[in-house]
Structures are given as C-alpha cells and as structure tokens.
Amino acid sequence: QDGFCVYASYDIWLLGVEGYNNSWDGLYIGGSDRICISNSQFAENDDNGLSSSASRIYISHSIFQENHDDGISLSHTYGSVVCSNITKNDEGIDAFSLSNFDVRFCQIENNTFYGIDESNSRIDARWCWWGDASGPYESTLNPTGTGDDVDPDVEFDPWLTEPYQPENLISDLRCLMRTAEWSVVYPSDEESKPQGRGPASVSDWLATAYLTARLWNKTEGLDTNPGFVNQTTGEPLGIGAIACFGGPAVGVPVYYYELNKIAPVIYCNVPGARGPGQPWSQWYLANGTAIAETAMGTSDTLDLFLIEAFVDEEGRPIFIAYGIGWRGTYAAGKYFDDVIHPNLEEFTHTWIIVKWEDTNLDGFVNAPEEGDTYTILARGH
C-alpha cells in the first residue's frame, strides 16, 4: 500500500509529511495540479519514495532516502524539486514519458545505480551536489566525475563543488503563500520616516496587491507603525514571513535589509553597496560585486525592477519587490501576477532583475503581452 495518495486534486499542500516503510510508494500523486510538498521525508519504502504521474508538483526541503526503487519517480510530470536530499536509493530520480522537471540545489549521492536517469523527458539538474566536487559520472560528458552516475541527456553542468541549499527561493512562494503567517509592510507616504526614508507612491501599494491577494494569512501595516517596524533600526517585527514592495528610498524594512547586507542584492544608493574597484551599476551583490547587466539609466519609458526572496537573521522568509522608479515597482507587481505566479516552479532563484519597456508608448505600465516588453537581465542564487 502507498503511504499517502493524492489523486485528481488541485492546490494541495503537504507539509511535514513522513512516508516510511510502505509496501508500495511513500507518496503517490496522480492526475493532479499544483501539489506542493515541503519539509517532508520519504524513506525505506519498498517501491518509490514519491511517484508522480500526469501531475504538476513542487518539492522543497525534503528527504528521499533508502527507498528500494527510486527516490522520486516521474511520469508525464511537470515541476521542480529544490533544496532536497536524494540519497541511498536504487536510483535517485527516474524520469520518463515526457516529464519536464527542474532539479536545483539538491544533494544527489550514494544512489546505487543512477543519481538521475531519464527517458524521453527533459531534466535540468544544474547546480546540484552529486557527492563529489568532480561532479556526476557520465562516460562522455564528464568521465572524471566520481559522483553519482547521470544519464547523458540530463543537463547537469554546472554542478556544485560543495553542498549548498538556499533557505528561501522565489519558487518557495508556491508553499508559503498559503501556509505562512505573513506581515505585509507598506511604505508610508508620510514625509518624516525612520532612517530618513521618503514618502512612497500610490503605485507601491497597488503593486503589493498582486501578492497580498494570494496570501491566506496576513496582517497589514505601515512602516511608520511601531507595532510593525522598529522605528530606530528599521527592522520589521513579528515571527512570520514578511512582504515588502517599494525600494530602499521609501521602504524602511527594505533599507534595513540592504544597509545591513542581509538582502542578497543592494541598490546603488544604499551606503556601502558598491565594492572597492567595482564599476557603477544600479544594483550590487551583498559582497559589493556589480551586477553589470544593470548598468543602464532609466526613463519614463524604461525602468528596472528587482524581485527577491531570502531568509533574514531571525529565520523569517522575506519577499521584496521594487523598481528604481514608481513605474518599475508597478511593473514588478504585474510581472509577478502574469509571469511568476502562474509558473512559480520555474523561478528557482533567490533574485531576478527585469527590464520593463513601454513598447507601445502609451505612457502606462501594461502587463506582459499587453503592449509592453519585459526582459530578464540577471538572476542569481
């Protein structure tokens, strides 16, 4: 018998599930859409840890270990597995029958046969750890690799030279939107604000709605509210996830995270953003390295925006989106609504920077495919 079975279902969240010692699969998913599995473990099952057929799934921060067949078996399945450990199975991942799957930041090691095997499918398994810094073994593509074996049709280069699993990715919103307790911090339009921040535009609030409408458990407040934000340091309060729209010029928590190099990406006007000897750009990595793709000006018809996800020093998931100008922030909201949210499984990054262009010159921020052009300039993890 299967430990758990999800069949012909939609929008199911499986958190903290444990599927052990079942005579078939630890978890079977069939004919289902938007199934999210997070912080779960599937081990020592007689068949597969997880088996999915004709489904769309997202897996994060989970363990598939010592299953007698596959850690994960995929048939006609679309989605992603991120930041998970797939170890000591007969095969780590076996994908067949037109599956289309991304594997990111996973530890794939000590599986008996293949780390990942595929047949008539597309598997992108870049940025994974295969048990050794030399990468996975493939007789032609990487004959010196001493990690787990990999099928030659799997995309595996580049690989990680040491284990690394980001605590929060943009794609993790697939699970967090409905399971986390959220604080949504709006940038106030007051003139006098903590940390010398300026008044926000109405567009910052409008952009926020594209995310907040999808959060099941949320509390909303201003960055000038001492119950929401420490008015001395700028640090947001509370223990749950935090969402902010509006950049460091107007957003007190955003400025706090960038000034203290907690955020992965820092805007150029934040003190200390630019590292020694680095060229000018609109954004820098937290280590001071210029994100060269953003070295361009903005105008009424061209703006840039950043969307990022990370975990702060208190262990809280953080989601931030903002543009250089108000049009960029509004464009970030529309891009999230039209592109990211419907395809969250594909955004296995901690940050992306996108260029918006008013292609039809109507003076308005239109959604993608409604007259304006959106181009991803850079992304990272």
89-126 pLDDT, tens digit per residue, is 999 999 999 999 999 999 999 999 999 999 999 999 99
Q: Which CATH class is domain 4-150?
A: mainly beta
Query: 18-56 burial by CB neighbour count: b if 16+ within 10 A, else e?
Result: ebeebeebbbbbbebebbbbbebbbbebebbbbbbbbbb
d(C-alpha 296, C-alpha 132), whole Å? 40
Q: Summarize pLDDT for 135-193 with one digit per residue, the tens.
A: 999 999 999 999 999 999 999 999 999 999 999 999 999 999 999 999 999 999 999 99
Question: What per-residue confidence (pLDDT) applies to 147?
Answer: 99
Average pLDDT of the residues in 251-267? 98
Question: What per-residue confidence (pLDDT) applies to 250?
Answer: 97
CA angle 277, 287, 325 (to 5 degrees): 85
Expressed in percent and rounded to 5, the helix, strand and coil fractions of the chain are: 15, 40, 45
| 282 has a pLDDT exceeding 80 | yes
Spatial neighbors of 100 by CB under 8 A, at least 6 apart, are 77, 78, 121, 122
Question: What per-residue confidence (pLDDT) applies to 70?
Answer: 98
Whether the CA torsion 109, 124, 163, 50 is positive or negative: it is: negative
Question: What per-residue confidence (pLDDT) applies to 380?
Answer: 97
Cis peptide before 158 (omega within 30 of 0): yes
Q: What are phi and psi of 176, to 5 degrees?
A: -70, -30
| 201 has a pLDDT exceeding 80 | yes
Angle between helices 202-212 and 326-335 (to 10 degrees): 10
Question: What per-residue confidence (pLDDT) applies to 232?
Answer: 97
Question: What per-residue confidence (pLDDT) applies to 134?
Answer: 99
HSE-CB at 103 with a 13 A cutoff on CA atoms is: 35
Task: Please state the pTM of the whole predicted model.
Answer: 0.95
Question: What per-residue confidence (pLDDT) applies to 2?
Answer: 80
- CATH 2.160.20.10 domain locations along the chain: 4-150
Q: What are phi and psi of 75, to 5 degrees?
A: -135, 125
Spatial neighbors of 196 by CB under 8 A, at least 6 apart, are none
Tell me the pLDDT of the chain averaged across its residues: 97
253 with 233: CB under 8 angstroms? Answer: no
Give the model's confidence band at 212: pLDDT under 50 very low, under 70 low, under 90 confident, else very high: very high
Average pLDDT of the residues in 195-217? 93
Average pLDDT of the residues in 275-284? 98
Q: What are phi and psi of 333, to 5 degrees?
A: -65, -45
Question: What per-residue confidence (pLDDT) applies to 203?
Answer: 85
Q: Summarize pLDDT for 335-344 with one digit per residue, the tens.
A: 999 999 999 9
Q: Summarize pLDDT for 305-346 with one digit per residue, the tens.
A: 999 999 999 999 999 999 999 999 999 999 999 999 999 999
| 1 has a pLDDT exceeding 80 | no
With a pLDDT cut of 90, the percent of the chain lying above it is: 97
- 10 Å Cβ neighbour count for 370? 11
Average pLDDT of the residues in 58-72? 98
With a pLDDT cut of 70, the percent of the chain lying above it is: 100
Residue 138 three-state SS: strand
